[in-house]
Structure 1
Amino acid sequence: MAGKGSCRLLLCVALVAVLLLVETTAPAGQAHAINCGADCSYRCSKSSRPNLCNRACNTCCQRCGCVPPGTAGNEDVCPCYAHMTTHNGRHKCP
């Protein structure tokens, strides 16, 4: 009986270890997590309305998982960001 209980314990420990390993491993294609706050702050640093720009940029970043580099343009790097529109059909992301 003692062998059966220790086998179950070992199995449980192994299962927990595998789950933790899967949980902490980044999926393929996501080698690093994006920092929306910092990326959007830089993207909006030259905007005439930085608070509005940051709010829109952070929304787009959260939904798309990317922010184009630089303070303007370069939207081909992040197509989701480039094609997001408002309810009025205007370009949403700065």
Structure 2
Amino acid sequence: MNPLIFATSVIAVGLSVGLASIGPGIGQGTTAGQAVEGIARQPEVKGKIRGTLLLSLAFMEALTIYGLVVALALLFANPFV
């Protein structure tokens, strides 16, 4: 394997995992904080807020998993070789 292609692939893997986790991480923190604030303001709608929170967190986590899949594809099934 060409060392330049291997080094570039490793750098791309690091960037894809890092960048794919920054956005959902910030979003999950903001969403959880707003959900806690909403529950504190209106405790009677705790069930609806929690259900919506868990669904939105699952969608955000899926974005991170897509980044991981791209990273693993670049690392192990390198299309550039």
Shared fold per TM-score greater than 0.5: no
Larger Rg belongs to: 1
Question: Which has the higher relative contact order, 1 or 2, with Cα contacts under 8 A spaced 6 or more apart?
Answer: 2
Shorter-normalised TM-score: what interval?
Answer: 0.3 to 0.5
Q: Which has the higher helix share?
A: 2
Q: Structure 1-normalised TM-score?
A: 0.40
